Amino acid sequence: MNLSIIIPLYNESESLSELHKLIVEELKTHNLSYEIIFIDDGSTDNSWEIIEILGNRNKKVKAFRFSKNFGKSQALNAGFDICLGDIVITMDADLQDSPSEIIKLYHSMLKNNYDILSGWKKKRYDSFIFKNLPSKFFNYVVRNISKIIIHDFNCGIKAYKNEVVKSIDVYGEMHRYIPLLAYDKGFTNINEKVVVHKPRKYGRTKFGINRFSNGFLDLITLLFFQKFGKRPMHFFGLIGSIMILIGFISSLYLGIDKLYFETSGRLITDRPHFYVALTTMILGAQFFVAGFVGELIVKNKPISKRYNIISSINS
């Protein structure tokens, strides 16, 4: 199959029929085999009923419905698990991502052999204060930390090679950092393309201002796991060893000072430095043990799903 289009959604009933129509019209003049995969992330409106109608009309439509709202990352991960296309394109269901970009992204991927081609909403139709400005700052920080030159990490419309999406595990709210996850797996041919961004036509955004604070916390988590996720002892053990060494040297100094230089008869336990050294060694030992426990968890961690599918269509 040439192309998979994955569309995660939550309460977007008003836009689904129009989005499906635009995608089909965009692709019907091209000799491509494709599938459209809707992932209903626990919608409470009639989104699923509309998807069922679309699935009955068009056998190229596949869909899954979560039992509750598990989040966009879990929805994307479910789509990545079942997609068959050589090129996989993700897009949002709110009609702010233009289906006219699908073929452009597809051909650019084939021509340049990109691993990932990320959309860049250079001109946005969102609130400057509450979305554009925080987004620019967020992307600036991520771009400089990760060294991946992308201007819009959180853009919903992206294109991937199939082997990329099959190699990564998108969890928590890590959908913002899929390029980083892929880069960590060795897929380094990542680029971006300016895409059309449209004003929201129906409803309102499902993401609040807390997405920025969550985004930075997720970035810290991701960077930690990229470097130490498979070897936690290298982090906790190093800190623990340094603290134990500092505490031991301090205790040794106090002992030598008491035996050979102290003339006032003051007890070691009367000196504040004794408790600092003791606390440092105890904390160092705890860090060291945490490293061992982390290694055991990593080596024995069971694989579990983070979402529950209760309905499916054409799959």
According to DSSP, residue 301 is labeled P
Q: In the structure encoding, which two tokens stand for residue 25, read together?
A: 């019209």
69 within some domain: yes
End-to-end alpha-carbon separation of the chain, Å? Answer: 15
Q: What is the largest CA-CA distance in the chain?
A: 95
Q: Are residues 96 and 183 in the same domain?
A: yes
**Long-range contacts formed by 144-148: CB under 8 A, 24+ apart:** 145/219, 145/223, 146/179, 146/180, 146/183, 148/179, 148/180, 148/183, 148/190
Domain endpoint, select from 199, 227, 255? 227
| Model confidence band, residue 296 (pLDDT cutoffs 50, 70, 90) | confident
SS3 (DSSP) at 12: coil
Q: Are residues 104 and 155 in the same domain?
A: yes
Q: In the structure encoding, which two tokens stand for residue 254, read together?
A: 């106090």
201-258 per-position pLDDT tens digit: 776 665 555 666 666 777 777 777 777 777 888 889 889 999 999 999 999 988 888 8
What is the 3 state secondary structure string of 243-298? HHHHHHHHHHHHHHHHHHCCCCCCCHHHCHHHHHHHHHHHHHHHHHHHHHHHHHHH
In whole angstroms, what is the distance from residue 76 CA to residue 80 CA? 6
63 within some domain: yes
In whole angstroms, what is the distance from residue 254 CA to residue 270 CA? 11
CB 133 within 8 A of CB 56: no
Domain endpoint, select from 171, 195, 227? 227
Q: Are residues 122 and 248 in the same domain?
A: no
Q: Tally Cβ neighbours within 10 Å of residue 67.
A: 11
Domain endpoint, select from 174, 200, 227? 227
| Model confidence band, residue 261 (pLDDT cutoffs 50, 70, 90) | confident
Q: Are residues 188 and 251 in the same domain?
A: no
Q: Are residues 268 and 130 in the same domain?
A: no
307 within some domain: no
H or E element at residue 13:
helix 13-27
Tally of structural domains, the chain: 2
How many C-alpha atoms does 249 have within 13 Å on its Cβ side?
A: 6
Give the residue numbers spanning the domain of 23. Answer: 3-227
Q: Are residues 128 and 261 in the same domain?
A: no
Q: Are residues 164 and 24 in the same domain?
A: yes
**Residue predicted with more confidence, 69 or 265:** 69
309 within some domain: no
C-alpha closest to that of 173 among 138, 205, 221: 221
248 within some domain: yes
pLDDT at 41: 95
pLDDT at 268: 80
> 117 — phi, psi (to 5°)?
-125, 110
H or E element at residue 82:
helix 72-82
263 within some domain: yes
Q: Let me know the angle formed at the C-alpha of 136 by 133 and 142, rounded to the nearest 5 degrees.
A: 140
Is the pLDDT reported for residue 107 higher than 90? yes
**Residue predicted with more confidence, 181 or 259:** 181
What is the 3 state secondary structure string of 141-197? HHHHHHCCCCCCCCCCCEEEEHHHHCCCCCCCCHHHHHHHHHHHCCCCCEEEEECCE
Q: Are residues 85 and 178 in the same domain?
A: yes
DSSP 216-239: HHHHHHHHHHHHHTT-TIIIIIHH
18-39 per-position pLDDT tens digit: 999 999 999 998 999 999 999 9
Q: Are residues 125 and 27 in the same domain?
A: yes
pLDDT at 208: 54
CB 171 within 8 A of CB 306: yes
| CATH number for 139 | 3.90.550.10
pTM of the full structure: 0.76
